[in-house]
Structure 1
Amino acid sequence: MRAGVLAVVAAGGALGSAARYGLAEAWPGPAGGFPWATLVTNLIGCALLGVLMQIVTTRPGIHPLVRPFLGTGLLGGFTTFSTYAVETRDLVAGGHLAPAAGYVLGTLVGALLAVRLGMWAAGRWRR
């Protein structure tokens, strides 16, 4: 089973990373500008993770490879803490302290709310 888990995490991660790259290419931000693409990517990923967790923890019979493929692989590859950290550092280094603070707080609060919203939406959909 370990080889199967590794394979689905790798496949999901490749797909999620490619989707994130595609979104960043489709929505480039100006140098020193607010990193909207990363913020939106992370919020979408968090909402989808909330949906996934609501489904896999409340619905019996989910294949054991669904969670590692979608959660760790696809959504783990789609969301990005490293880019978030680098973009925050770049904003601070460029003297854009207010946007940097907004980005940090917006990501943290937004991510928590997005997970909760995803869980709520999945719960309502199941009813």
Structure 2
Amino acid sequence: MTSVPERLPSPPLSPMATALLIGLFGAAGALARYGISSAASLLPGPFPWGTSLANVLGCFLFGLIWALSEQRALIPKPLGLVLLTGFVGSFTTFSTYVFEAEVLLQQGLWLILALKIIGQNLLGFAALAAGFRVGWWGGER
């Protein structure tokens, strides 16, 4: 069994440096999402491959970065936060949704987990419909 390396203290990033790095990694994540969606649009059929691939890959990346930063100490915590918030956050927010659900599952908070999953999905559909209605208000459909 391998041991976890001792975490070396990582210098904190200034708020300005953190914001700048999140913006840069966010731009990279958005471009990566666009690239995957563009490539997936070449696949046949009506299935939304681009979104599905981005969501699954984003979940993998979230787990990998979290483990390398928080568990194995191979990525400094400030950089892990910037990567998760900037790159993965703009690549897909589904990964954060799944991660939060996993934390609730591990904590045995079944009712809160059910409320999160059912509530966010139902409210998401309702908010989408409301946005459509507000956007169409006064116009023709």
TM over 0.5: yes
Contact 2:69 2:77 in 1 (8 A): no
What residue ranges of structure 1 are gaps of 5+ in the alignment? 82-107, 116-127
**TM-score, with length taken from structure 2:** 0.51
Q: CA deviation at 1:53?
A: 0.8
From the CA coordinates, give the structure whose radius of gyration is larger: 2
Q: CA deviation at 1:80?
A: 4.8
1:60-79 to structure 2, matched below 5 A, reads 60=73, 62-79=75-92
- Residue 10 of structure 1 is matched in structure 2 by 23
1:41 to 2:54 alignment: yes
The 10-residue stretch of structure 1 (20-29 or 2-11) with the greater mean CA deviation from structure 2: 20-29
**TM-score, with length taken from structure 1:** 0.56
Q: CA deviation at 1:65?
A: 2.9
- Residue 88 of structure 1 is matched in structure 2 by none
Contact 1:38 1:80 in 2 (8 A): no
Inter-partner Cα distance in structure 2 for 1:61 and 1:33? 41
Alpha-carbon distance change, 62 to 80 in structure 1, aligned in 2, over 3 angstroms: closer
| 1:57 pairs with one of 70, 73, 81 | 70
Taking every aligned residue pair, what percent have the same amino acid on both sides?
33
Alpha-carbon distance change, 20 to 3 in structure 1, aligned in 2, over 3 angstroms: same
Instruction: Tell me how many residue pairs correspond in the alignment.
Output: 84
Root-mean-square deviation (CA), in Å?
2.7
What residue ranges of structure 2 are gaps of 5+ in the alignment? 1-13, 103-141
Contact 2:36 2:53 in 1 (8 A): no
Contact 1:16 1:78 in 2 (8 A): yes
- Residue 108 of structure 2 is matched in structure 1 by none
Q: CA deviation at 1:4?
A: 1.1
Inter-partner Cα distance in structure 1 for 2:75 and 2:42? 39
Structure 2 letter corresponding to 1:33: P
Contact 2:68 2:74 in 1 (8 A): no
Higher fraction of helix? 1
Structure 2 letter corresponding to 1:10: G
Q: Deviations over 1:76-109 (max 9, x none)?
A: 111155xxxxxxxxxxxxxxxxxxxxxxxxxx8x
